A and B are shown apart, each in its own frame.
Chain A
Amino acid sequence: MTPSEAHASVGGGFQKARNLLVTTPAATTPRKTALYSIHRKMGAKMVEFGGWEMPLEYAGILAEHHAVRTRAGLFDVSHMGEIEIRGPGALGLAEWVTCNHVARLRAGEAHYSGLMTSRGTFVDDLLVHKLSDTHYLLCVNAANQDRDFEHIAGQKHGDAEVENAGVRYSQLAIQGPRAKEILGRLTPVALDSIHYYHFTFGKVSGADCLIARTGYTGEDGFEIYFHIEFSEALWSSLLEAGQSFGVMPCGLGARNTLRLEAGMRLYGHELDESTTPWEAGLDWICKLDKGEFLGSKALAQQRQRGVEKKLVGFEMLGKRIAREGYPVFVGGRQAGGVTSGGPAPSLGKNIGFAYVPPQASAPGTALEISIRGQVEPARICQIPFYRHPRPTTPH
């Protein structure tokens, strides 16, 4: 099956899904994924995130975190947005709005990238999947999907059609060292042939899915995209298939501790419309040599001039926890602030991200972080904080 052919069947229920839009409650009430009632029934503690009512935790953040590091965890990530770009101008448009080099992707490959403003700052961070030369699927953050869509559609760059497709899709992430065995029980697809940051189309429990070897946990695992009508069936069959492997349903709490340990940025915290890829330490996704794109001039200038702030990872030397917004001092002077912070359950210490001046950004640099008025010592360390051996090398 070629990617684009198979994908047509994933989108087969489009009309049905559109009707859901009509009954979507006012924007002030949080949106619910197709699995909302299952989460409630299973006793999840719910939280509003990015305009969606999502599970925060089931058994507890720490238990879920360790399950993903040692066994497997299942996440409903249907709040994530999907935007599709189709047509002869699809590559040109994707190349224009994002900073990574889309032309280098082959069909069946994905990469991490940034959706750029004309100032070279982040409208969003995203995954770009190449389905074919004329079809790209972008996976974007829940809170940003509508403005991302408007931003891309508003570019009018060549002959390309942009679709805000999130309403059609559910997405589940099965993550952890046993994820492959669990998913393998439900699909005829040879999962070993899907390398890291690659994807294919195939059936999972009889449902058409895009199966990608990606994740937001620092573990091996898969993210599967499918039509919302299969949500409950796939959630249940993955939990059932994973039972003997010790799979746990996981919420956004564990998703956050896992991504933080893995050194992955979170939009609205490490990234926003005031930060550039250079500042965020994401040089590897910003390809100035690919030709002009939205923000490339500003980014080239900043590359020459140098950045004024730089994202670093830090660890606390004491037991206290630095959290978002806490001021960071270098040599007694306030130098920046914490963007994310919390316990790292797999490392047994407290870690975080902060922006500091570039001259104070080298690993080993001593920082002081003000925790509710009391200054606590911290130290800049390498990102990622936690590294799990990969099954294959990322490209």
Chain B
Amino acid sequence: MYPADFRYTKDHEWIRLEGAVGTVGITDYAQQQLGDVVFVELPKPGARVKAGESFGTIESVKAVSELFSPVSGEVAEVNASLADSPEAVNRDPHGAAWLVKIRVSDAKEMTALMDSAAYQVYIAEKAKETPA
């Protein structure tokens, strides 16, 4: 469910680093918590992003949530297909519905993120706090 080659943030984004470029999305846990996704707002290619800072918003029927970047760098590519089919985030959050690709400026930031096992412990704890 939570791929071993991803790293995860406490805000429920994932990143998969290939060379200097990291693909970023939200986790399956996040899409479940959000419910039906109806709008995704992403930065333009070339935009600078910083680890832990907002790079866009994602809206479900009920609410709007900020997207936080797992790492610092420059947006290399955005997933343009989400403009017309934001619901893909609910269907395939770890695959086709990736959000942005970031040219990572400092790969060391990756070490601050959780691996799959740690993230699963983290969301299990979350689930205990807020009965869903």
**Main SS at interface, chain B:** mixed
A253–B57 contact, CB under 8 A? no
Q: Can you name the residue of chain B whose Cβ is closest to the Cβ of A43?
A: B132
A178 within 8 A of B: no
Query: Mask for B35-63, Cβ within 8 A of A = 1, else 0?
Result: 11011010000000000000001011111
A227 within 8 A of B: no
A395 within 8 A of B: no
Q: Can you name the residue of chain A whose Cβ is closest to the Cβ of B62?
A: A253
Chain B interface category by residue count: 10 to 19
Question: A387 CA to B38 CA in the complex, in Å?
Answer: 23
Of the candidates A40, A46, A343, the one whose C-beta lies within 8 Å of that of B38 is: A343
A319–B39 contact, CB under 8 A? yes
* Residues of B57-109 whose CB lies within 8 A of A: 57, 59-64, 83, 90
Q: How many A-B residue pairs have CB under 8 A?
A: 40
Inter-chain contacts of A98 with B (CB < 8 A): none
B61–A257 contact, CB under 8 A? yes
B61–A253 contact, CB under 8 A? yes
A372–B57 contact, CB under 8 A? yes
Question: A381 CA to B36 CA in the complex, in Å?
Answer: 26
Query: Mask for A337-365, Cβ within 8 A of B = 1, else 0?
Result: 00000110100000000000000000000
A342–B131 contact, CB under 8 A? no
A343–B132 contact, CB under 8 A? no
B36–A45 contact, CB under 8 A? no
A320–B36 contact, CB under 8 A? no
Of the candidates B35, B39, B59, B132, the one whose C-beta lies within 8 Å of that of A253 is: B35
Of the candidates A45, A60, A61, A320, the one whose C-beta lies within 8 Å of that of B39 is: A320
Question: A57 CA to B83 CA in the complex, in Å?
Answer: 25
A321–B35 contact, CB under 8 A? no
Question: A372 CA to B35 CA in the complex, in Å?
Answer: 22
Question: A320 CA to B83 CA in the complex, in Å?
Answer: 11
Question: A320 CA to B60 CA in the complex, in Å?
Answer: 12
A323–B64 contact, CB under 8 A? yes
Q: Can you name the residue of chain A whose Cβ is closest to the Cβ of B131?
A: A46
Question: A345 CA to B35 CA in the complex, in Å?
Answer: 14
Distance between A185 CB and nearest chain B CB, rounded to angstroms: 31
A34 within 8 A of B: no
List 9 A-B pairs, minimum CB-CB distance, nearest first.
Answer: A61-B61, A62-B36, A343-B38, A60-B36, A45-B132, A61-B36, A321-B59, A343-B61, A253-B62
Taking A61-B60, A62-B36, A345-B61 as known contacts, 13 extra A-B pairs with beta carbons closer than 8 A to each other, sorted by chain A number, are A40-B131, A45-B35, A45-B132, A46-B132, A60-B36, A60-B90, A61-B62, A253-B35, A256-B62, A319-B39, A321-B39, A342-B61, A343-B38
12 contacts between A and B (CB under 8 A): A40-B131, A46-B131, A46-B132, A56-B62, A57-B35, A253-B61, A321-B38, A321-B39, A321-B64, A323-B63, A342-B61, A345-B61
